[in-house]
Structure formats: structure tokens, C-alpha cells
Structure 1
Amino acid sequence: MAPPRYKQLVDTLAAEIRTGQLPPGTRLPTHRQLATKQRIALVTATRVYAELEAMGLVSGEPGRGTFVRNTSLPPGLGIDQQAAMAGMVDLNFNNPSLPGQSALLRDALRQLAASGDLEGLLRYQPHGGRPHERAIVARHLASRGLNVPGEQVLIVSGAQHGLAVTAMALLRPGDVIATDALTYPGFKVLAQAQQLELLPIPGTASGPDLAALAQLCASRRVRAVYSMPTMHNPLGWVMSTAQRQQLVSIARRHELLIIEDAAYAFLVEQAPPPLAALAPERTVYVSGLSKSVATGLRVGFVATPAQWVAAIERAIRATTWNTPGVMTALACGWLDDGTVMRLEAEKRQDAKSRQSLARDILAGRPYISHPASYFLWLPLGEEVRAEQVVARLGEQHVSVSTAEPFATTAHVPHAIRLALGSTAPDVLQQALQKVKQAIDYYTY
């Protein structure tokens, strides 16, 4: 039996998209135009586009139409795996590294090998880390304005794992979480896996629209707010002390759990106090060493109110049992001897240098960033399709991300996010010039 007529049309359009006959950014006929052209009912045309959208091949935008998506982006994530290809310049992921870090690792491994505690590192560790290591992390957090006892610090396998165990321990499927309209993609993936509903908070030039957050809490049963107050990813804002106090006031009024993501906070000197310092009774603070030291060093920290320690420890046990002893010992050694603090200072300068380079190359084109961040946000305006720019850059062996993985709203803005920390400065300079040329190509 032949498949239904609309199924045949879905298959035909899907094949044309996948083979490039309909390239990324192509505006498809309106539902009515498709119905007329294919001699099908309007409701059937709507069903065709709905299936293509469910397959991740097109995106519909109210008032603008239906467009072909960049199918090189894995469904549901939007992170371009082309970056792994030989010769591809990665402006998608941040992997900030400094000259000499491999030598630091060799020295640290030698010191670890000469220590008298190797046998203990081969055994299971306490789920939240050994007490003396938790105390080391607590001292590190104190240097960032967060004074918390070691007993309330849990060592995890990176900040993403910290977010995951926090969600597993403290949230339930169906819970509503308020988060920025543009937010960290890893939290979006986590929310989907945990069946959490994300409620977007509109943004302003300097941070989230907290009046809008208050209105959301008044109209919906919001369980928690996920926030990046210090070096927001991808917009780079740093919330003022007044903004943080206002957010805390809203959280207390509506009994919200606050999840504070501080993965990039090390890039901000003399930052306002963490949310966890302003509302220690309801804030879980999550950070790690992936960006400040190395992405391969999967060691992170969760600082939590005492009443939630046991629940988060159970989630650690259910996922990894404990952070590997060797990794934790290495990380804590660097925290204790000042290596992490030194690397953080050097990376702040490195990020400033890369931002300066981007500012020179992108002169005249509006973008959003922080002068010490490893990323920037390039709005494209209504005349330029992000998918077209991404596809064109892909042909030139430059990998960038659209706004899709960051957006929690139904309408995805046309913008690209550039990660500046994964390539050598000379390679970055050439890649940024290609970015500007690609945008100009579709603008003028």
C-alpha cells in the first residue's frame, strides 16, 4: 500500500533538505501556497510542516514563515560536530588553555606519584569527597566571596555534573524552573532529561528582567530559578548587587530554590557577592575547573545549604559514586598551592586580549559581550538568517553556533554565539574576519 499523499510530500521535502537542494535558511512556501501548489487541503499542508519541524528539519516563526534549518546541528542541542573535523576552526566550544599547562600537569603527576597516599586514591572515596579536600574547596570559594563550611561542599565530576545532581536531588518531573530567555545549553539538555519545564525570563541590557520574573512567579507555580549572575553565558552580563538583592527578595517571597551557575565567574575581578552569599538558606552554588584550568579536568563543586547535603550525596552516589580520587587530589593540590588562582589571573588577561581582537575586527557591527569573557553574542537582525551564516562559515571550515541551543523561547532570535577561547590568537583573527565577511555577504 502506498503511503498517504502528505507522507510522500514530507519524504520528498526531507530528502531535498538533507541533500542540500533546499539549503539552510531557505524560506519555504506558506501553508496556503503549499496547499495550492500540491493540491492538498490547508490542514494537510500544516501537518506536513509540523512533521518536518518535529524531524528538526525546519523551523516555523510566527509572522515570518517556515525556514530550512542547518541540519549539521544535532537535534535538540545545536552544537556543531563539524568542529571535530580536521581543519575546522572551533568557535563553538570554549576550551581555554595557556602555554605551559601540559608541563604543569607533568609536574603535578610526578608530585602525586611521590606522595604517600596513592593506595588510598585507588579506593572508593566518600560520595561528596574526603573532608580535607572539601575544606580546600571551601577555602577556594571563600576567595570568591562565598564563606561556607567544608561540610556543605560536595566535590563532583565537573559543573555539569553538579547541575545534574542538584536537579536530581531537589527537583521533580513537571517542576517549573525560571531561567533566562537565553541560557546555558547544558541546563536545557538537563531540563529535558529531567522533564522540567523552563519558563523564560526576558532579558535587559544589564541582566534578567526581574519585574517579569516576579510576574511569572505570581502567575505560575515556579519551583526554582536558574541563574548565571556573574558572567552570563552567552550574553556576558554581570548582575549588580542591587539586582542580586532583588532576585533574592523575589526568591524568598515565592519560596524559590536558587541554582547559581558560576562556571565563568572566575573571569570577573571584584565581582558582587554570589547569590549564595546573599541567600545561603536557599541557594545551591555550582562551579568547577573546566574553564579556569582545563576542560579535561572534570572536577566541580557544589556548595549547598546543610539540609540538602544528604540528598545531593545520594544523587552523586547514583551517578558516579564519587569523583575519581586521582583527579580530585590533583585538583585540590592546585587549589591549595595557588596554581588555580594563577591560571585564573592569566586567563582573565587572555580573555581580555581576545575580546580586544574581536572588537577591532568586528568594529561597526553591534555585538554583546563582557570585556573579559571568552564569548560574544552577535545579533544578526531580521535581514540575515543565522543558518545561512553558519552554513557559509562551515564551508570555510569555521564552526559557530546559532542562537537555537541557548534559546528557551518559542521564537529563536537570529544571532550567532562565538566562543573565543579554543584557538590560537592568529587563527582566531582569521576566523573572526571570515565571520564578519559572512555576515556582510548576507547584509549588503
Structure 2
Amino acid sequence: MPRARYKHLVDKFAHEIRSGTLPPGTQLPTHRQLAMREGLALVTATRVYAELERMGLVSGETGRGTFVRETAVPLGHGIDQPPATEGMIDLNFNSPSLPGQTEMLRKALRQIAVSGDLEALLHYQPHGGRKHERSVIARHLEARGLSVDADNVLIVSGAQQGLAASVMSLLNPGDVVAVDALTYSGFKALAEVHRLELVPVAIQDEGPDLQALEQLCRTRRIKAVYTMPTLHNPLGWVMDAGQRQQLVAIARRHNLLIIEDAAYAFLAENPPPPLITLAPELTVYVSGLSKSVATGLRIGFIVAPDRWVPLIERTIRATTWNTPGLMTAIACGWIEDGTVARLETEKRRDARARQTIAREVLAGLDYVAHPASYFLWLRLPEEARADQVVMTLIKANISVSTAEPFCIAGHTPHAIRLALGSVDLNTLQAALTQVREVVGHYLY
């Protein structure tokens, strides 16, 4: 087929979709039907639809066909960003805060202002943090079942930078990383920037399919596995001790780097020990205080074995040089005086209250969530399309995330993730009631 005709057909579909001639939700002819209608080779018809999907105009769904997307929904909507429209109810981005935290910040700044160490904060800091601050973080981690030496702790500007520093230090462009088929959207974005190849591991109700991971390691040259064993985002599972031991055994057999993301781990009470305690020689552990304290307090930490610490310090030097001294001083002060432990306890209680509201409002709908998490995963009825549900909610001033930002596999499920932590409880109940009405429309 001449290139001009191929492009003409793509442009024709694009015009009809953007003009509304083909409205959102329209099912397009099958690849074979399109090939017969236009006199094309089947491979060319497939190419036409692939180009339209790349443009964000259609979505192909295994076993269902190809459908016109709701183009008013931004492509990739929901990649953990605050809503752009003022007054939008935010069920997309988690920024949990408790009453009194603003006054806590004022008090902390006053204390720092009269401290004898203030002048030191004006100068460069060691790349991984000052020794006494790394010791504070190490003591903080003991409460999570992680006993580490301060020399193995590196302080960074949030957990996301911790992931980025780990990837930049320990992986190369083109490396293959195994991830859950539904995974944290921020790691997807990081992999794209660093040109990593992500391959999906099938998921089960309570964790990744580890037999599938084993098989994947036998057929592909996997360099690392990225995992959230304690309170997975977006599915909320907590892997049990047996699953953790099995994952570590696979990593040892195939010499995999384990990147353990524990950003939400503080919400799970008495979970099994972190993976790094089972395989300290293979694991980098990344977490921070964004969710447990405040998203604007960009303090995170990496725990790594001795051999990787200099590599990560070099990356920190090349990117941010060091964590801002003032932020680090506030965070360490709050760890030492018990503020962080108190906030974590209160936020676990707050998250449980929010999940209770969700359980009551969404009763009967198909969703999964940890009872103390700040989010839930709502599977949509067979007749529903995620982009249309999201657009309907946007028109009602409610921002939610589609499954697209979290999906690694080729087929994106029709589901939405609801973040519960950024609005007050009354607003949350009203917003979830609206979500139920929109989704319930497809049930009756």
C-alpha cells in the first residue's frame, strides 16, 4: 500500500474522531474487516490501528476490539499529579495531611533558628548526608524491622529521587527490569527516561505470580526486579513471608538486583521483614517521609550494601550534590523527638477511617484495597469504559486516575485508582458517592 494512502486512512480516522463523527466508545471494524473494506493487507490494517493507538485516539482491547477513546481525557491521565482545575476534588494524588501539621512546621523552624548548628546548613553537605543524620535515619528504620549501619544509609530528596539515583547508579539503558503488570506510575516514568525495558510479571490476588517471574528469568536476560512487597501501589497487597523468601531465592538464582520500594510501608502494621533483611547483598531499599509526614518535605532514604554506596553517592553528587540541609534538619529533628512516629500512627488511623468510608459507600462494587491504605483499585463493569468514566467524573469536578499510568502489559484493564488521602472526610464521602453513581450506571 503506498505510504500516502496509508497516512490518508490514518488522517481520515483521526479527523472523524476529533470532529466527533466517531464519538467516544465507538467500536471500530476488526482488523480483518478494515482490511477487506479498504482492500488492504491485514498487516497494514493492523498498522493503521497501531498508529491511531499511538496517537491516543483509540484503544485496542483483547477479546473486545478497538474503540474510540474519550480524547477529552488527557493521555496518561492520573500520573500522580495534582488536578489542574481549581476546585477539582482530588481523588488522584495522595497528599495526606493532619490537623496541626502547619503549626508543627512553624515550631520546627523556630527551634532550628535558635540552634547552634544553623550556620552549617548554609554550606555543602556530604553527598549521602552527614553521619549523625544518617544515624538518625538508621534508628528510624529499626522500627520497620530493618537493622542497618548508618554507613549504608544515603539521604536523598524524596523516595522518587531515591529510585532515580538507584537506577542511574546500578542499571544501564537497555537493561531489562521485571515489574508487576500493574505497578507504580513513577517507576514507569523513570524507566522511560532512563531507557529501561520493563517486562510485566503476572499478578495474583495477594502478590506477583512468582512462578511467572521464574519462567521470565529463564527466557529473558533480566537484570533487576522492582517490587513493592509492603503495601503495593496500586493494589494494596502485602506479600507474606513465604512469598518474600521465594522472590529472594529467584533473585539469588538469577543474580537479580532487587529494588524494594517501601514508600507506603509505614501504613502496614506488623508486616513481614523487608526483603533487604533477607538479601542485603542484592537489595536497595528506598523509602521516604512524603506520605508519612508531608509531600512537600522532600526527604527520602536509600539503604544499600557497601559495594553500591560509592556509586549512589556519585550519582547524588552529579544530580543534586546533597539533600537541602534545612529539610534534612527538620526531618531528623522530628524523627528524634517522636513526631514522625506519632504522625505515622495517626495516619494509619486516618487511612483506616477513609477505607471504612469507602467500604460503606462502594459496597457491592468490585474493588481491592488494603484496610489501612490511602488508595483503592476499582475494577469497572464489563460494559464500562475507563476513559468515559473518568471524563464523566471530571465534568463533576472529581479527578481520578485510569489504569493506564500503572499498566505494563499490553492490555490495559478498565479500572480506576482512587486516592483517598487529599480531601477531608466529608468531601471524600460525597466524592465517593458520586463515583458510585457514575459506575453504578453501568450495573443496572
Q: TM-score range by the shorter chain?
A: over 0.9
Q: Distance in 2 between matches of 1:81 and 1:143?
A: 30
Q: Distance in 2 between matches of 1:80 and 1:277?
A: 30
Could you list the per-position Cα deviations for residues 304-336 of structure 1 after superposition, in whole angstroms to 9, with x for gaps in the alignment? 001100000111112111111111111111111
Instruction: Please name the residue that 2:320 is paired with.
Output: 320
Q: State yes or no: 1:398 paired with 2:398.
A: yes
Instruction: Please name the residue that 1:203 is paired with.
Output: 203
Cα distance change on mapping 1:15 and 1:211 into 2, 3 Å: same
Instruction: Please name the residue that 1:133 is paired with.
Output: 133
Q: State yes or no: 1:219 paired with 2:202.
A: no
Cα distance change on mapping 1:108 and 1:26 into 2, 3 Å: farther
Q: Distance in 1 between matches of 2:115 and 2:373?
A: 37
Cα distance change on mapping 1:300 and 1:98 into 2, 3 Å: same
Instruction: Please name the residue that 1:274 is paired with.
Output: 274
Cα distance change on mapping 1:82 and 1:185 into 2, 3 Å: closer
TM-score by length of 2: 0.95
Q: Distance in 1 between matches of 2:245 and 2:176?
A: 22
Q: Distance in 1 between matches of 2:430 and 2:32?
A: 44
> Identical aligned pairs, as a percentage?
68
Instruction: Please name the residue that 1:237 is paired with.
Output: 237
Of residues 53-62 and 7-16 in structure 1, the stretch that sits farther from structure 2 once superposed is: 7-16
Secondary structure of 1:367 counterpart:
strand
Report matched runs for 1:333-348 at 5 Å.
Answer: 333-348=333-348
Secondary structure of 1:334 counterpart:
helix
Could you list the per-position Cα deviations for residues 350-373 of structure 1 after superposition, in whole angstroms to 9, with x for gaps in the alignment? 000000000000111121011000
Q: Distance in 1 between matches of 2:325 and 2:81?
A: 31
Q: Distance in 2 between matches of 1:152 and 1:77?
A: 37
Could you list the per-position Cα deviations for residues 140-189 of structure 1 after superposition, in whole angstroms to 9, with x for gaps in the alignment? 01111111111110000110100001000001112111111110001111
Cα distance change on mapping 1:116 and 1:17 into 2, 3 Å: farther
Instruction: Please name the residue that 2:366 is paired with.
Output: 366
* Shift >6 Å, 4+ stretches: none
RMSD: 2.0
Q: State yes or no: 1:414 paired with 2:423.
A: no
Secondary structure of 2:200 counterpart:
strand
Q: Which runs of 5+ in 1 are unaligned?
A: none
Q: Counterpart of 2:234 in structure 1: which amino acid?
A: P
CA shift for structure 1 position 6: 3.6
Q: Check the 8 A contact 1:77/1:189 in 2, yes or no.
A: no
Secondary structure of 1:125 counterpart:
coil
Q: Which runs of 5+ in 2 are unaligned?
A: none
Cα distance change on mapping 1:318 and 1:72 into 2, 3 Å: farther
Q: Distance in 1 between matches of 2:153 and 2:33?
A: 60
- What is the number of residues matched between the two proteins? 443
CA shift for structure 1 position 218: 1.6
Instruction: Please name the residue that 1:380 is paired with.
Output: 380
Q: Counterpart of 2:436 in structure 1: which amino acid?
A: K
Q: Distance in 1 between matches of 2:103 and 2:17?
A: 48
Q: Counterpart of 2:205 in structure 1: which amino acid?
A: A
Could you list the per-position Cα deviations for residues 174-232 of structure 1 after superposition, in whole angstroms to 9, with x for gaps in the alignment? 21111111100011111111111112111111111111111111221111111101000
